[in-house]
Chains A and B, each alone.
Chain A
Amino acid sequence: MEPVVQFDDVTKSFGSYVAVENLNLSIEAGKFVTLLGPSGCGKSTSLRMLGGFETPTSGRILLNGKDVTRVPPNKRNVNIVFQDYALFPHMTVAKNIAFGLELKGLDNDKIHRRVLELLELVQLQDYAKRLPAELSGGQRQRVALMRALAPDPDVLLLDEPLSALDAKLRQQMQIELKAIQEKTGKTFMFVTHDQEEALTMSDTIVVMNKGRIEQMGDPNTLYGRPGSVFVANFIGETNLLRSAVLGMESGVAALNWNGVTIKADPGGLSPKVGEHLYVVLRPEAIHCSADEPATGNRIKGKIRQRVFKGNHTSMMVEVGDGALLNTLVHPSEIAQLEGEDVWVGWKIETATVIPDRHAHN
């Protein structure tokens, strides 16, 4: 099936600054795709190029097979939901939503029916005649979304639309957005720097860094099997154990990490002795106990810090030559306090291995 959006070797530079470098990305129809990354990684620029507000320095952008690289935004069948909503302040909610429809040449009744249809989707039927200034942040966001959906675009672009909302409203809107996407079946391209948001809503996450794609995949894969140090660090909390290979034994590598011997599954890599690797270990994969556990990896350490975080406690445990492990425990499980001994352990298969691409990182 032909992808609805295709970036072909797209590069965008502003003078000497390269914002996006050789981007190759295909997006399938009906998916919720998130571009995730820190500020300056090129995600917003890529979105704006798809919307038509930036022109690629080189490369092509295809929409449903058609080359739209030089097509102005008003002629593309793509609509954006802006970060600050950009609702027209002098027009009512109904007129805002109808804006794109009016320009298509539909007649009054048809327009009105579609407007009502969209308002019902977000429960704002009673607000049709209100002005944007009279609405709350969440309501404005919904109107902006409906305005962008009204002309039935091929792709809906969302540029960090939830960042202006408070935490609770944000979570609520995340669920709502996802629901609307599934209901309408539209292709959504979402941009955010919040990895939790990306994990919640996306079918596919595209992690970007310094203008390039670091890794692309579904949330589970990205979380469980990050392909690079950057992705591992960016998504969720993690321990990155930089270790030297000691040897291989029946498919399991033995590694030296700060004086402690650990075992890990090298995955597709065939490491040589002396080579450096990163073992990616999520805090929640580590079990802490008073007695020695029966997991593949077990180390005795000292608790350096306990931080109560509500539904869990973070514990920093010092092992080996002073290396620290970030662990996650239920407060009731571990009674030990700071300075006391504790056993940490994890199953070999719960950690992944990433090669050390750079000599210094």
Chain B
Amino acid sequence: MRTPFSDVPRTTLTAFYWAFILYLLLPLTLMMAMSFKDANFVAFPIGEWTFDWYVKVMQDKQFLEACLYSIMIAAAATLAATTLGVWIAMLIVADGIRGQIVLFALACLPAVVPGMISAISLRIFISTIDMPTGTAAIILGHTVHAVPFVVVMALTRLRSMPGNLVDAARDLGADSIVAFFRVTLPYLRPALGGGMIFCVLLSIDDFVRTFFLGGYRPTLPMLIFAKVQGGMSPEINAMATLVLVVTAAVGLYAEYFTRRARTR
């Protein structure tokens, strides 16, 4: 790649990039390192290194329950958000639809509203429909949060679909529903794959909505938060590290997957 640029900006920028990477990874690395500390308090320097905290965490019933709870909520919210998101996207691209912009704006609304306000508004909302705080409310909140992202991903993919595909299916005897399931949905699959993983991670990481909509059963972030309020301990670091590693791995895989699919 020939470039007439002088090397000064190049090396400066490269250094900057790596400095930034360092900056991003430093706190997380420290947090992970602290989880190996052989002591009951959180402080540097780390003396002895141990896996004890991990053992403790893996055996902690509360932690495991919170994991399961988070995963369950994430699964439910993902399913709901994906179905709704695709449905909304199909409406937006439908033939002869008017007010597409309004529909799109409505669909994106929860993403534009600051998280806190979204959480509060949902808290008020469930109260007005006499829904108690708890699992159902959390799933609802996470679904509302995730729908805009699914809509955008589905729309992008749908707009790249050749218009004749559905026509061809109908011409060969399929009604609108069959055409959707046999042609449109398979076409959407790559976008949906990445979208669903995104929804799962969005749900597992969510704090503010869960805070206001949740009951007494903690999700992972709620659990960590409660423990932090109770006092710092390497145990919390171990928990956080576990969550970090798993979600980062899944997230990276999803990114890698979608980027590969896009360039293929």
Contact = CB atoms under 8 A, between A and B. Distances in A.
Interface string A132-152: 000000000000000110010
Given A88-B183, A90-B186, A73 B164 contact: no
B183 A79 contact: no
Contact of A51 (B162, B171, B174, B187): B171
B171 A80 contact: yes
Contacts of B164: 82, 84, 86
B167 A151 contact: no
Interface in B149-186: 162, 164-165, 167-175, 178, 182-183, 186
B190 to A, nearest CB: 10
Given A86-B162, A88-B183, A80 B168 contact: yes
A103 B173 contact: yes
Contacts of B187: 89-90
A120 to B, nearest CB: 21
Contacts of A127: none
Nearest to B186: A90
B173 A74 contact: yes
A74 B167 contact: no
Contacts of B162: 84, 86
A113 interface: no
A301 interface: no
B167 A86 contact: yes
A100 B189 CA distance: 23
Nearest to A159: B164
Contact of A79 (B165, B172, B174, B182): B172
Nearest to B164: A86
Contacts of B178: 103
Chain A, interface size category, equals: 20 to 34
A151 B174 CA distance: 12
A296 interface: no
Nearest to B264: A133
A251 B18 CA distance: 96
A75 B173 CA distance: 6
Nearest to B176: A74
A156 to B, nearest CB: 11
A99 interface: yes
Interface string A54-81: 0000000000000000001111001110
Q: Is the interface of A mostly helix, strand, loop or mixed?
A: loop
Contact of A100 (B165, B172, B175, B186): B172
A168 interface: no
A334 to B, nearest CB: 50
Interface string A147-175: 11001000000000000000000000000
A88 B168 contact: yes
Contacts of A84: 162, 164
A258 B175 CA distance: 63
Contacts of A147: 168, 172
Given A88-B183, A103-B178, A52 B171 contact: yes
Interface in B75-134: none
A72 B171 CA distance: 9
B175 A74 contact: yes
A53 interface: yes
Contact of B168 (A75, A82, A103): A82
A183 interface: no
Given A88-B165, A103-B178, A73 B183 contact: no
Contacts of A75: 173
Contacts of B183: 88
A110 interface: no
B173 A104 contact: yes
B167 A82 contact: yes
A151 B173 contact: yes
Contacts of B189: 90
A47 B171 CA distance: 13
A80 B169 CA distance: 10
B173 A100 contact: yes
Contacts of A82: 164, 167-168
B79 to A, nearest CB: 22
Contacts of A80: 167-168, 171
Contact of A74 (B165, B171, B182, B186): B171
A50 to B, nearest CB: 11
Nearest to A98: B172
A278 B175 CA distance: 53
Contacts of A74: 170-175
Q: Which of B162, B170, B172, B178 has the most CB of A within 10 A?
A: B172
Contact of A103 (B165, B167, B172): B172
A130 to B, nearest CB: 17
Contacts of B175: 72, 74
A86 B165 contact: yes
Nearest to A157: B171
Contacts of B172: 74, 79, 99-100, 103, 147-148, 151
Nearest to A87: B168
A79 B171 contact: yes
Interface string A318-343: 00000000000000000000000000
6 contacts: A73-B171, A80-B167, A89-B187, A90-B187, A103-B172, A103-B178
In the A-B complex, the 5 residue pairs with the smallest Cβ-Cβ separation, listed nearest first, are A86-B164, A100-B172, A103-B173, A86-B168, A90-B186
Interface of A: 51-53, 72-75, 78-80, 82, 84, 86-90, 99-100, 103-104, 147-148, 151
Given A82-B167, A90-B189, 4 more contacts: A74-B172, A75-B173, A87-B168, A151-B173
Interface of B: 162, 164-165, 167-175, 178, 182-183, 186-187, 189
